[in-house]
Amino acid sequence: ILVEEHKKGHIRGEKEVPVLFEEADGVYVKLQGKDRKEAKQDKAEIKIGLAYDGWKRTGNERYQLSDKVVVAGFAGAKEFHEYREAAIAEKFNLDEVSQRILNADGASWIKKGKDKSTCFQLDPFHRNKAVKEKIHNRKAVRDIMELLETERIEELFEYLEIYKASLGDDAEIDDAEELIRYYENNREGLRPYQSQGLELPEHPEGLEYRNMGTMEN
């Protein structure tokens, strides 16, 4: 019902904010009993979406998300995005949002849900985890992490190509190629949103704009 009402333009939240922060991820869970039989598989992905308008300071270096909206479900990508958008619209007046920022792991179902005006940031946890899983040389891991942290993206890809060319083990070459593809597919989001040239409106009184990646925490 919520989705249908939103499609008709009947859902419009009261809160007006200039920037909306969004995060999305998928978590696989084991199915049991009737659920497993009906799905004809052992695992299913729960899709999770999170939206908020900034961070409130609650103490010394302690913050909480402001006006958080959380949705989750087993639905397909299209259905989930429709429900997520309707749930967000129930709290926020999306017509007044001038910038949306999406933090995610780069999964195709997540990126399909963003429009051209949304700024995408590759989730730092997944970005760094990929290096540690796919690069087997400790010095190379440190070098790559430094290039990421200092946002030297072109040098990063040059380094990865040189590193791959130095390898002799097929499995390590495959891992290096997989990391390169992952970063290429998410090149736009390798820099944090603060470094992507956005001209963000001033945050509302009492809020701050901070680093994203809350969902993984």
Share of the chain above pLDDT 90, in %: 81
First to last CA, the chain: 32
pLDDT over 70 (residue 217): no
pLDDT in the model for residue 35: 67
Cβ neighbours, 10 Å, residue 114: 17
107-to-135, 149, 158, 182 alpha-carbon distances in Å = 21, 22, 24, 10
pLDDT in the model for residue 64: 95
Tell me the pLDDT tens digit for each residue of 71-99. 999 999 999 999 999 999 999 999 999 99
13: nearest Cα among 89, 110, 111: 89
Q: Is the dihedral of CA 76, 81, 86, 88 positive or negative?
A: positive
Cβ neighbours, 10 Å, residue 115: 7
pLDDT in the model for residue 144: 98
For every residue of 105-125, DSSP letters joined together read: ---HHHHTT--TTEEEEE-HH
pLDDT in the model for residue 34: 72
Tell me the pLDDT tens digit for each residue of 20-61. 999 999 998 888 877 666 667 788 899 999 999 999 999 998
pLDDT in the model for residue 96: 94
Note the pTM of the prediction, 2 decimals: 0.90
Tell me the pLDDT tens digit for each residue of 165-205. 999 999 999 999 999 999 999 999 999 999 999 999 988 89
pLDDT in the model for residue 167: 97
Give the pLDDT band of residue 1 (cuts 50, 70, 90).
Answer: confident
CA–CA gap between residue 31 and residue 45 (Å, rounded): 10
The residues with which 63 forms a beta bridge, in sequence order, are: 57
82: nearest Cα among 10, 1, 3, 2: 3
Find the mean pLDDT for residues 6-13: 92
CA–CA gap between residue 215 and residue 174 (Å, rounded): 30
Burial class from Cβ neighbours inside 10 Å (0-12, 13-18, 19+) for residue 28 reads exposed
pLDDT over 80 (residue 215): no
Q: Which residues contact 170 (CB under 8 A, 6 or more apart)?
A: none
pLDDT in the model for residue 54: 96
Tell me the pLDDT tens digit for each residue of 145-175. 999 999 999 999 999 999 999 999 999 999 9
